[in-house]
Protein backbone atom coordinates (compact mmCIF):
# COMPACT_ATOMS: atom_id res chain seq x y z
CA UNK A 1 0.00 0.00 0.00
CA UNK A 2 1.39 3.43 -0.93
CA UNK A 3 2.49 5.55 2.00
CA UNK A 4 3.89 8.95 2.83
CA UNK A 5 7.55 8.84 3.81
CA UNK A 6 9.56 11.40 5.76
CA UNK A 7 13.26 11.93 6.38
CA UNK A 8 15.03 12.20 8.66
CA UNK A 9 13.15 10.46 11.46
CA UNK A 10 15.00 12.58 14.03
CA UNK A 11 16.85 15.85 13.52
CA UNK A 12 18.85 17.57 16.23
CA UNK A 13 19.98 21.13 15.58
CA UNK A 14 21.34 24.15 17.36
CA UNK A 15 19.16 27.22 17.87
CA UNK A 16 19.50 29.60 14.94
CA UNK A 17 20.41 26.90 12.43
CA UNK A 18 18.43 26.13 9.31
CA UNK A 19 16.74 22.75 8.91
CA UNK A 20 15.02 21.11 5.99
CA UNK A 21 12.51 18.37 6.60
CA UNK A 22 11.72 16.16 3.66
CA UNK A 23 8.61 14.31 2.63
CA UNK A 24 7.70 12.07 -0.27
CA UNK A 25 3.92 12.15 -0.65
CA UNK A 26 1.90 9.37 -2.22
CA UNK A 27 2.62 9.52 -5.93
CA UNK A 28 -0.77 10.45 -7.42
CA UNK A 29 -1.70 12.89 -4.67
CA UNK A 30 -2.15 16.56 -5.44
CA UNK A 31 -2.57 18.25 -2.07
CA UNK A 32 0.18 18.43 0.49
CA UNK A 33 0.26 19.53 4.10
CA UNK A 34 2.58 20.05 7.02
CA UNK A 35 1.38 19.68 10.59
CA UNK A 36 3.19 20.02 13.89
CA UNK A 37 2.70 18.22 17.18
CA UNK A 38 4.47 19.48 20.28
CA UNK A 39 5.08 16.63 22.71
CA UNK A 40 1.86 15.57 24.40
CA UNK A 41 -0.27 18.13 22.59
CA UNK A 42 -2.64 18.07 19.66
CA UNK A 43 -1.70 18.07 16.00
CA UNK A 44 -1.68 21.60 14.57
CA UNK A 45 -1.99 22.67 10.96
CA UNK A 46 0.93 24.60 9.52
CA UNK A 47 0.44 24.92 5.77
CA UNK A 48 -1.31 23.44 2.76
CA UNK A 49 0.14 23.36 -0.74
CA UNK A 50 -1.45 22.76 -4.10
CA UNK A 51 -0.43 23.41 -7.68
CA UNK A 52 2.98 24.64 -6.59
CA UNK A 53 1.74 27.30 -4.27
CA UNK A 54 0.59 27.72 -0.69
CA UNK A 55 -3.20 27.38 -0.35
CA UNK A 56 -3.42 28.31 3.30
CA UNK A 57 -1.09 28.82 6.24
CA UNK A 58 -1.59 29.13 9.97
CA UNK A 59 -0.33 31.79 12.35
CA UNK A 60 2.49 29.43 13.30
CA UNK A 61 3.79 29.45 9.73
CA UNK A 62 5.64 32.76 9.90
CA UNK A 63 8.47 34.13 7.75
CA UNK A 64 10.90 31.61 9.23
CA UNK A 65 9.03 28.79 7.50
CA UNK A 66 8.88 27.95 3.82
CA UNK A 67 7.74 25.01 1.73
CA UNK A 68 8.82 23.78 -1.63
CA UNK A 69 8.16 21.02 -4.08
CA UNK A 70 11.53 20.99 -5.80
CA UNK A 71 10.75 18.09 -8.10
CA UNK A 72 7.89 15.74 -8.91
CA UNK A 73 8.22 13.70 -5.75
CA UNK A 74 9.63 15.65 -2.80
CA UNK A 75 7.88 18.17 -0.58
CA UNK A 76 10.06 20.05 1.88
CA UNK A 77 9.60 22.23 4.94
CA UNK A 78 12.41 24.65 5.71
CA UNK A 79 12.85 26.47 8.99
CA UNK A 80 15.34 29.26 8.42
CA UNK A 81 16.48 30.04 11.94
CA UNK A 82 15.25 27.50 14.45
CA UNK A 83 14.04 28.44 17.91
CA UNK A 84 13.76 26.25 21.00
CA UNK A 85 9.97 26.32 20.65
CA UNK A 86 10.21 24.75 17.18
CA UNK A 87 11.02 21.44 18.87
CA UNK A 88 8.17 19.14 17.90
CA UNK A 89 7.12 16.28 15.66
CA UNK A 90 6.51 17.48 12.13
CA UNK A 91 4.10 15.47 10.01
CA UNK A 92 3.67 15.63 6.29
CA UNK A 93 0.31 14.59 4.83
CA UNK A 94 -1.01 14.20 1.32
CA UNK A 95 -4.42 13.97 -0.25
CA UNK A 96 -5.42 12.64 -3.64
CA UNK A 97 -8.27 15.00 -4.46
CA UNK A 98 -9.67 17.82 -2.37
CA UNK A 99 -13.12 16.34 -2.57
CA UNK A 100 -12.06 13.19 -0.77
CA UNK A 101 -10.77 15.07 2.29
CA UNK A 102 -8.78 11.98 3.20
CA UNK A 103 -5.30 12.96 4.30
CA UNK A 104 -2.61 10.34 4.76
CA UNK A 105 0.10 11.13 7.25
CA UNK A 106 3.75 10.23 7.22
CA UNK A 107 5.56 8.84 10.28
CA UNK A 108 6.92 12.26 11.21
CA UNK A 109 10.26 13.91 11.86
CA UNK A 110 11.16 14.63 15.44
CA UNK A 111 12.93 18.00 15.52
CA UNK A 112 14.95 18.80 18.61
CA UNK A 113 16.35 22.32 18.87
CA UNK A 114 19.09 22.76 21.48
CA UNK B 1 -15.08 29.01 15.85
CA UNK B 2 -12.26 26.82 14.60
CA UNK B 3 -11.87 24.74 17.73
CA UNK B 4 -12.76 21.10 18.17
CA UNK B 5 -13.22 20.08 21.80
CA UNK B 6 -12.51 16.47 22.74
CA UNK B 7 -13.16 14.48 25.89
CA UNK B 8 -12.13 12.64 27.92
CA UNK B 9 -8.41 13.33 27.99
CA UNK B 10 -7.74 9.75 29.02
CA UNK B 11 -9.80 6.59 29.19
CA UNK B 12 -9.19 3.22 30.79
CA UNK B 13 -11.34 0.34 29.61
CA UNK B 14 -11.40 -3.36 30.35
CA UNK B 15 -10.87 -5.74 27.46
CA UNK B 16 -14.19 -6.43 25.79
CA UNK B 17 -15.72 -3.18 26.99
CA UNK B 18 -16.96 -0.19 25.00
CA UNK B 19 -14.75 2.87 24.63
CA UNK B 20 -16.55 6.16 23.94
CA UNK B 21 -14.80 9.39 22.97
CA UNK B 22 -16.71 12.60 22.37
CA UNK B 23 -16.05 15.70 20.29
CA UNK B 24 -17.84 18.98 19.78
CA UNK B 25 -17.35 21.68 17.19
CA UNK B 26 -18.62 25.21 16.63
CA UNK B 27 -18.11 25.94 12.95
CA UNK B 28 -21.17 24.74 11.04
CA UNK B 29 -19.20 24.99 7.80
CA UNK B 30 -17.25 21.85 8.71
CA UNK B 31 -18.35 19.01 6.44
CA UNK B 32 -15.93 16.20 7.14
CA UNK B 33 -15.22 14.58 10.49
CA UNK B 34 -12.45 11.97 10.66
CA UNK B 35 -11.03 10.06 13.57
CA UNK B 36 -7.33 9.32 13.65
CA UNK B 37 -5.48 6.72 15.70
CA UNK B 38 -1.91 7.42 16.77
CA UNK B 39 0.54 4.99 18.32
CA UNK B 40 3.62 6.34 20.15
CA UNK B 41 6.27 7.55 17.73
CA UNK B 42 4.01 7.17 14.70
CA UNK B 43 1.96 9.47 12.55
CA UNK B 44 -1.82 9.71 12.84
CA UNK B 45 -3.61 7.02 10.84
CA UNK B 46 -7.14 7.50 9.55
CA UNK B 47 -9.53 5.19 11.36
CA UNK B 48 -12.99 6.18 10.18
CA UNK B 49 -14.68 9.33 8.93
CA UNK B 50 -18.19 10.71 8.51
CA UNK B 51 -19.94 13.52 6.67
CA UNK B 52 -22.87 15.40 8.22
CA UNK B 53 -25.48 13.94 5.88
CA UNK B 54 -25.52 10.69 7.89
CA UNK B 55 -26.01 10.15 11.62
CA UNK B 56 -23.95 7.02 12.02
CA UNK B 57 -21.19 5.13 10.28
CA UNK B 58 -19.89 1.72 11.28
CA UNK B 59 -16.73 -0.05 10.21
CA UNK B 60 -16.06 -3.26 12.07
CA UNK B 61 -15.79 -2.52 15.78
CA UNK B 62 -15.62 1.26 15.20
CA UNK B 63 -18.72 3.45 14.96
CA UNK B 64 -19.07 7.20 14.58
CA UNK B 65 -22.28 8.77 15.86
CA UNK B 66 -23.00 12.24 14.52
CA UNK B 67 -25.48 14.77 15.93
CA UNK B 68 -25.64 17.71 13.56
CA UNK B 69 -28.05 19.80 15.62
CA UNK B 70 -25.89 19.45 18.73
CA UNK B 71 -22.69 19.86 16.74
CA UNK B 72 -21.26 16.76 18.38
CA UNK B 73 -19.82 13.49 17.20
CA UNK B 74 -18.42 10.50 18.99
CA UNK B 75 -16.34 7.40 18.42
CA UNK B 76 -17.47 4.09 19.87
CA UNK B 77 -15.05 1.18 19.98
CA UNK B 78 -16.92 -2.04 20.67
CA UNK B 79 -15.22 -5.08 22.20
CA UNK B 80 -12.14 -2.99 22.99
CA UNK B 81 -8.84 -4.86 22.73
CA UNK B 82 -5.39 -4.19 24.24
CA UNK B 83 -4.17 -3.50 20.69
CA UNK B 84 -6.58 -0.55 20.57
CA UNK B 85 -4.47 1.19 23.22
CA UNK B 86 -3.41 4.41 21.49
CA UNK B 87 -4.21 8.10 21.32
CA UNK B 88 -7.32 8.98 19.36
CA UNK B 89 -7.87 12.36 17.73
CA UNK B 90 -11.09 13.65 16.30
CA UNK B 91 -10.82 16.29 13.60
CA UNK B 92 -13.00 18.51 11.46
CA UNK B 93 -12.50 20.02 8.06
CA UNK B 94 -14.10 22.26 5.45
CA UNK B 95 -11.90 21.20 2.57
CA UNK B 96 -8.20 21.78 3.04
CA UNK B 97 -6.82 21.80 6.60
CA UNK B 98 -7.80 19.48 9.42
CA UNK B 99 -8.59 20.98 12.82
CA UNK B 100 -7.73 18.40 15.46
CA UNK B 101 -9.13 17.82 18.90
CA UNK B 102 -6.80 17.57 21.87
CA UNK B 103 -6.65 13.78 21.83
CA UNK B 104 -7.76 10.94 24.10
CA UNK B 105 -5.29 8.42 25.43
CA UNK B 106 -7.04 5.06 25.54
CA UNK B 107 -5.69 2.19 27.59
CA UNK B 108 -7.35 -1.19 27.31
CA UNK B 109 -6.42 -3.65 30.04
CA UNK B 110 -6.71 -7.43 29.63
Q: Mind listing the pLDDT tens digit for each residue in B22-41?
A: 999 999 999 999 999 999 88
pLDDT value for A72: 76
Cα gap B80→B107, rounded to integer Å: 9
Cα gap B12→B97, rounded to integer Å: 31
* Residue A95 C-alpha, separation from nearest chain B C-alpha, in angstroms: 9
The pLDDT of residue B1 is above 70: no
B84 and B63 in contact (C-beta within 8 Å)?
Answer: no
pLDDT value for A71: 86
The three-class DSSP label of residue B70 is coil
Per-residue confidence band for A75, with pLDDT thresholds at 50, 70 and 90: very high
The three-class DSSP label of residue A30 is coil
The pLDDT of residue A99 is above 80: no
Determine whether the interchain pair B98/A35 forms a contact, defined as Cβ–Cβ distance below 8 Å: yes
pLDDT value for A98: 64
Asked if A71 has any chain B CB less than 8 Å from its own CB, the reply is no
pLDDT value for B25: 96
List, for residues B45-100, the tens digit of each pLDDT value.
999 999 999 999 999 999 999 999 999 999 999 999 999 999 999 999 987 789 99
pLDDT value for A97: 77
* Residue A87 C-alpha, separation from nearest chain B C-alpha, in angstroms: 15
B14 and B109 in contact (C-beta within 8 Å)?
Answer: yes
Rounded to the nearest integer, the mean pLDDT of chain A is 93
Q: What are phi and psi of B11, to 5 degrees?
A: -150, 130
Strand partners, A103: A95
Determine whether the interchain pair B46/A44 forms a contact, defined as Cβ–Cβ distance below 8 Å: no
Determine whether the interchain pair B43/A101 forms a contact, defined as Cβ–Cβ distance below 8 Å: no
The number of residues making up chain A comes to 114
Amino acid sequence: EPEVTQTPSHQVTQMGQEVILRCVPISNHLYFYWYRQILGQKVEFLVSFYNNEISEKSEIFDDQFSVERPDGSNFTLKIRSTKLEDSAMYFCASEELEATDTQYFGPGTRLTVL
Amino acid sequence: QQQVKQSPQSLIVQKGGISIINCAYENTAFDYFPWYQQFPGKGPALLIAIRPDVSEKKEGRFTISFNKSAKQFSLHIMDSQPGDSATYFCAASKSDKLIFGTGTRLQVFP
